[in-house]
Amino acid sequence: MDLLDDARTFADDLTALRRTLHAEPETGLALPRTQERVLAELAGLPLEVQTGEQVGSVVAVLRGAGRANDTGSDTDTGSGSDTGAEPAGGRATVLLRADMDGLPVVEQTGLDFAATNGNMHACGHDLHTTMLIGAARLLTSHRDRLAGDVVLMFQPGEEGHDGARHMIAEGVLEASGRTADAAYALHVTSAIFDSNTVATRPGPFMAASDVLHVGVIGAGGHGSQPHLAQDPTVVAAEIVIALQTLVTRQFDVFDPVVITVGSLHAGIQHNVISERAEIVATVRSFSPEAQRKVAERAVRLCRGIAEAHGLAADVRWEEQYPATVNDDAQAGFVDRIAGELLGPERVRPMRAPLAGSEDFSRVLQAVPGAMAFLGATPPGADPASAPFNHSAFADFDEAVLPDGAALLAQLAISRLSAPAG
């Protein structure tokens, strides 16, 4: 069985599907056209398919026809125990996830199939969806070697809408009839990594993401007489600087926190002291402890600085995604399978996590598993300088599609083979 060769026989189909998805991106939790396309691609395969009740998701369950130790693989599953026996509660289940939504970005790539509706697949989710459909084709054609069940999770709303949380609430983790035993996801990158390079690491893989909203409340007045007003602008400026000092003086450099003020607004006229100044910042952290600590201390700092100047601060902490933390054994398993399937030269350990965030983190909070990057830097582009994900100019190498599909399928087959000892 060579999944990679099999996948490359329908590489043209995958490319065509990716381009169709790319040309019509949708955003948020409702993706009717994308959902319709995914359902059409899965039609005719021996899958149990259902759609979301509250969100535009697709969940497909494939029931394997093989038995443990029946796949001819001697690869350690990374489970940390003898898994030759059938797990309690029934056959083992692996979950494979792809996100489907785009971003509200006007595409500037100039591609023949570029989106023209004001949205863009600038983060490569069109590739993710295509690769998981490819994996579905591979897995169904090798169903007799699948010693367990596979849940295919097609998720909307990853880009800030917490789609994973909604799908978990609707039961995706138990879609096969039992809680998934392992979960895997790939994420393409348009830069940083060479094309077709697989990169992952144990432990923290991507950051938690939260938002700090601060409204400094003052009293307006004339710019020539600041002593008769309460100027919120200078207090807001002090808060911005103090937040950076908070990071460097109250947090361990080996458990870092990043605070970036992305929006700072006060007033509309040069000689008017405004009534209010607004700050909005993104906050990144890599452990639950740091995430809790920065939430408490950043809020306290903002309120305290405002109070020290005789003003008030309306402070709101918006928790978004937890840190994406890979299970140590499962991250090693992904490395091994990728090396065996694609070649060891294509596997690159990550020295440190990336500070982006992912709601696949919610799946990994509940199920041992791992996420990995799949480099998709376009041919001829330098990974160090190519436009990165979320850029209006981000482009991706479509040659990774069959490789990504084969890797997802092989992860499921090898994990479910569960050889004793």
Q: At what angle do helices 288-308 and 232-250 cross, to 10 degrees?
A: 150
Domains of the chain: 3-205+323-417 (3.40.630.10), 208-321 (3.30.70.360)
Contacts of residue 26, Cβ cutoff 8 Å, sequence gap at least 6: 32, 33, 34, 100, 101, 102, 119
Q: What is the largest CA-CA distance in the chain?
A: 83
Query: Model confidence over 73-131: pLDDT tens digits?
Result: 434 445 443 333 455 456 899 999 999 999 999 999 999 999 999 999 999 999 999 99
Q: Please write the tens of the pLDDT for every residue from 346-394.
A: 999 999 999 999 999 999 999 999 999 999 999 999 999 999 999 999 9
Q: Long-range pairs for 108-115 at CB < 8 Å and ≥24 separation? A: 108/392, 108/393, 109/392, 109/393, 109/394, 109/395, 111/22, 111/395, 113/19, 113/20, 113/22, 113/23, 114/22, 114/23, 115/22, 115/23, 115/24, 115/25
Model confidence over 182-222: pLDDT tens digits? 999 999 999 999 999 999 999 999 999 999 999 999 999 99
Q: Among 17-21, 77-81, 85-89, 141-145, whose mean pLDDT is lowest?
A: 77-81
Phi-psi region at 212: left, alpha or beta (left = phi > 0; alpha = psi -120 to 50):
beta
Burial of residue 310, with CB atoms counted within 10 A of its CB: 0-12 exposed, 13-18 middle, 19 or more buried: exposed
**What pLDDT, on a 0 to 100 scale, did the predictor assign at position 68?**
61
The tokens for 80 are 């940390």
The pLDDT assigned to 418 comes to 57
Q: How confident is the model at residue 417 (pLDDT cuts 50, 70, 90)?
A: confident
